[in-house]
Amino acid sequence: MRNMTISSNRLIRESLRELQQRLPQGWTASDAAPTQAAPVLTVTAPDLRASVLTLCVRTSLEPRGVRALVEGVDGAPADARLLVVAPYLSARTRELLREAEVGYLDLTGNARLTLSDPGLYINTHGAEEDPNRDERPARSLRGVKAGRIALALIENLITPGVRELAALTATDPGYVSRVISLLETEALLRRGGKGSATEVAWPALLRRWAQDAPLASRGAIGTYLAPRGLGALQQQLSSFEGTYAVTGSMAADALAPLASPRLATIWVSDAAAASLALSLPQVDSGANVLLVEAPDGTPFERRVARDGVWHANPALVAADLLTSPGRGPQEGEALITWMMRNEAAWRR
């Protein structure tokens, strides 16, 4: 059961204590009587220069509520310097507040405040999960069906309707609607008048999918050794007749190279058959190849042939990299940057 809702006055007092603990020596934070619109807080430097913040006190704030808060339509003054305080703010909510240049502080220790006069910068990290969340199944994009829906939303320039999306992903419309509702709550898309998705924030959606469904959760991974190196492996793949799609560093290197790939990650339909055909012995250490056995045909959809080798589509490659070992996350972000600049080259 969720704890009893914290009162606004108590939340202000506890937030004030949290902020005071994070201020440099000699700085103070003090609240004032509420104005007609909202309570205010004064941050004062040792030289007595001060900055006044309007407190946006929320017992909860979902990502989709950030836009209304920033625009002032939910009661917060649109022209005020804001500091959002809440018992807990999710990672997506904090991300949207940062993008809007709105300060925040929650009681688990997540805080960000930037002032120019007097100059101040606070950025601390607390809980990544709500310690008082309802006891209910976690809402996430984990699972084969959710992954297919996420990829379809990411890859399509024109967002399909619920029934079209259900047909594209071989899922039922009811499940698609539930996923879209989750993504709307997380401000990863907006819905039009008939409930269909519009304005998909695909880079954020891609990162969220990777977080909820890391590579290791989407297929059985085996570690192998290509004795003659990755260059020789690519030549072997050009004549390999099995079903496969290169992902990870080798695929990203063709679009957004950072450094020479040291690890090959390949989606396959049958790992045992692929390792035998490609002469890849399975090893416990020193591997330079990961074979990921796919649970369905999703990794092979919209694959692209480059120099005779099948590569997975960029959206899947980026998601795979974001939770890969080593420099994979950095390569994933570099690929997302390329994707943002070249949408016509990979979206349909």
Give the pLDDT score at 145. 92
Lowest mean pLDDT among 4-8, 46-50, 256-260, 294-298: 4-8
Global confidence as pTM: 0.73
Tell me the pLDDT tens digit for each residue of 171-184: 998 899 899 989 99
Residue range 13-37: mean pLDDT, rounded: 81
> Partners of 228 in the beta sheet?
none
What's the DSSP call for residue 299? Answer: G
The model's confidence at residue 160, banded by pLDDT at 50, 70 and 90, is confident
Which whole-number Å values give the CA distances from 82 to 35, 91, 229, in the listed order?
14, 18, 55
pLDDT at residue 165 greater than cutoff 80: yes
Q: What is the pLDDT of residues 175-213, one digit of tens each?
A: 998 999 899 989 999 877 665 677 899 999 999 999 999
> Tens digit of pLDDT for each residue in 105-137?
999 999 999 999 899 999 999 988 888 765 444
Residue 326: per-residue pLDDT: 87
In this predicted structure, the answer to whether residue 2 has a pLDDT above a threshold of 80 is: no
User: How would you class 105 by CB atoms within 10 Å of its CB: exposed for 0-12, middle for 13-18, buried for 19 or more?
Assistant: buried
Report all structural domains of the chain as residue ranges with CATH numbers, in order of start. Answer: 8-124 (3.40.1350), 144-212 (1.10.10.10), 215-345 (3.30.460)
Query: How sure is the predictor about 78, in pLDDT bands with cuts at 50, 70 and 90?
Result: low
Whether residue 38 has pLDDT greater than 70: no
